[in-house]
Chains A and B, each alone.
Chain A
Amino acid sequence: MIPAPFSYFAPDTLEEALSLLGEYGESAKILAGGQSLLPLMAFRLVRPEVLVDLGGIEALSRYELAGGRLTIGSMVTHRTIELDHRITSRCDMLREALDVLGHVAIRNVGTVGGSLAHADPAGEWLAVALALDGRIMVTGPRGNRDVAADGFATGWMTSCLSPDEIVTGVRLDMPGPGTGSAFEEVARRHGDFAVVGVAARVSVEGEAVTGARIALAGAASTPIRAHRAEALLTGTTLSGPDLDAACEAAASETDPVADLHGSVEYKRRLARVLTRRAVSRAYRRASAPA
C-alpha cells in the first residue's frame, strides 16, 4: 500500500504555502500531521499530485491561553494541548475529548488544524469547537477570514474552505466560572472513531441553566449543534422532564448515517443517551464550587 506518486513541498512561510496552492490549484493537497490523509493516500482513495507540508511553518505551531480564550495554531498537535495542564484543568470537555481522540501515537503527530480541515463527521475537534463557540481562522489569497465552527463543515468530509485556503488555527472560549463542560462518546474500542460523541457546555446561575451548548459528532454527515436542545435547557434547572425533552430534541436534530458500527436508530439512541450524560455532568461541574 504505497501512495500514488506526488511532488512534495515544505514551505517555511504561509505566503509560500499560499503561493504553492495558488500555483497547483485543486491538484494540491495540504499535509498537516497526515494521520487522516496518509491512510487515504495509502489506499489511493486520495491521490494529490502535489503535497504542501505545513510542518515547517513555525507560526502555525503556537498556541496561547489568554483572557478566557484559547487560540491554537493549526499545526499544534493534539498531544501538545492534552499535556498542557493549564488548558485541560480549565476545560473538562477538551480533556475528555482528547483522551479518546485516537491513541497517543496519533495525537503526537496529528494536528488540531488537520483534524478541523478534514471535517470528519465523527471528529472530536470540530464538535468541541462547536460547543466552545469556536472560530476557525483561515487564510487565503483574498486575505484572512474567521469562520464560525457552526457552518464550517458543509457536508461529508467537506468544508467551506476553498482549495487555495489554509486553516491557520482555531479560537475557543474556555468555560469560565459557573460553566461546566463534558465530552461523552461511545466508540467500539478505546481510541476508535466515535460512533456518536457529545460535547456539552452548560452555564448555571443558582440552579438555573443560563446557557448551553451541545454538539454531536457522528450524528450527521457533519458534526452538528443541537440548537433546539440548547434552547430547551436554557432557563431550566435540569429537572427530569426538562432534561428528557432536551435529550429527545437533540436526538431528533440528528441525521445519522448508518455504517457498520451503528444503524440510524442506534445512533439516535446514543445521541439521546450521551446528551443526557454529557449535559448532566457539565451541569454538575458548573454547579460544583470552584
Chain B
Amino acid sequence: MTRDLHSIVLNVNGDEVTVRVEARQTLAGMLRDQLGLTGTNLGCEHGVCGACTVLLGGRTARSCTLLAVQANGRSVTTVEGLAADGDPLHPVQQAFADHHALQCGFCTPGFLLTTIEYLDEEPEADPDSIRERLSANLCRCTGYHNIVAAVKDLLERRTGR
C-alpha cells in the first residue's frame, strides 16, 4: 500500500509548524521523529501509561493514541515548551525538583503536563482528588508520594492556603 501523506499545520510550543506526515503517524511519532522533540516519551503506545501526555489546545491528551493528522490546526504543548533552555524552570517543574518527585524521569513529562492542566482548572481542584487525577500516569520509581506532595504544594500555593 502506498504511503498516504498529508500536510498539516499546527502550533507546537508557540511556533507554527508545517509537517508532512503519513496518515498512520501518531502525534507522538511526529513530535519525536519529525520535530526532534524527544521529551515526549513513549511508554506503552496503547494509551495506558500516560508518559506521552501532551497538551492539545491546553488539555491533556495521550500523543500515542492520537494521529498527527487529528492534531491538524491545533496547538500542542510538550515538555520542551514549559521552559526555554536557559530560562528558569516552570513552577511545576521546580516543584517536582524541590520535592524529589522524579527519579529516572521517563514518566515525568507526562506528569508535568497532567499537573499543569489540573492546576489550571476552574473551579479550583480539591486536594483530595490529587491521587485520582494523577492515576492517569504511571510511575514505577517514586511510589507517587513525592509527586503528590509536589502537586499538593502547588495547589496550596495557588489557593494561598
Specify which of A6, A38, A79, A104 is in contact with B66 (CB 8 Å cutoff).
Answer: A38
By the criterion CB–CB under 8 Å, are A104 and B60 in contact? yes
Check A5/B60 contact, CB under 8 A, given A39-B47, A104-B133, A104-B136. Answer: no
Contact between A7 and B4, CB atoms less than 8 A apart: yes
**B114 & A105 in contact (Cβ 8 Å cutoff):** yes
Contacting pair B46 A8 (CB below 8 A): no
Q: Which residues of B contact A51 (CB under 8 A)?
A: 23
| B47–A189 CB distance below 8 A | no
What is the size, in residues, of chain B's interface with A at 8 Å between Cβ atoms? 34
Q: Is A18 an interface residue (CB 8 A)?
A: no
Q: Would you call the interface of chain A mostly helix, strand, loop, or mixed?
A: loop
Q: Which of A1, A51, A105 has the most chain B CB atoms closer than 10 A to its own CB?
A: A105
Q: List 28 A-B contacts (CB under 8 A).
A: A2-B26, A4-B24, A5-B4, A5-B22, A6-B24, A8-B67, A8-B69, A10-B72, A31-B70, A38-B47, A39-B46, A39-B65, A42-B45, A42-B64, A103-B135, A104-B118, A104-B136, A105-B50, A105-B61, A105-B114, A105-B136, A106-B136, A108-B56, A108-B59, A108-B60, A109-B65, A109-B66, A191-B136
| CA A187 to CA B59, docked complex, whole Å | 25
CB of A22 closer than 8 Å to a CB of B: no
Contact B62 A106 (CB under 8 A): yes
A3 within 8 A of B: yes
Contacts of B132 in A (CB 8 A): 190
The answer, yes or no, to whether B78 is at the interface (CB within 8 Å) is: no
Enumerate chain A residues within 8 angstroms of B100, measured Cβ to Cβ.
none
Query: Which among A1, A109, A189 is the interface contact of B135 at CB below 8 angstroms?
Result: A189
Additional A-B contacts beyond A1-B45, A8-B67, A35-B47 (19; CB < 8 A): A1-B46, A2-B24, A5-B2, A5-B3, A6-B23, A6-B24, A7-B23, A8-B4, A8-B69, A39-B65, A41-B24, A49-B1, A104-B60, A104-B117, A104-B136, A105-B60, A108-B61, A109-B62, A191-B135
A34 interface contact, C-beta 8 A: yes
**A105 adjacent to B53 (CB under 8 Å):** yes
| B50 CB to nearest chain A CB (Å) | 7
Q: CA of A98 to CA of B61 in the docked complex: distance in angstroms? A: 17
**Chain B: CB-nearest residue to A51:** B23
Q: Would you list the 3 A-B pairs with minimal beta carbon distance, nearest first?
A: A103-B136, A8-B23, A105-B60
Q: State in angstroms the CA–CA spacing of A79 and B59 once bound together.
A: 10
- CB pair B1–A5 under 8 Å, yes or no, is yes
User: How close is A278's CB to chain B, nearest CB, in angstroms?
Assistant: 20
Could you say which of A10, A104, A109 contacts B69, with CB atoms under 8 Å apart? A10
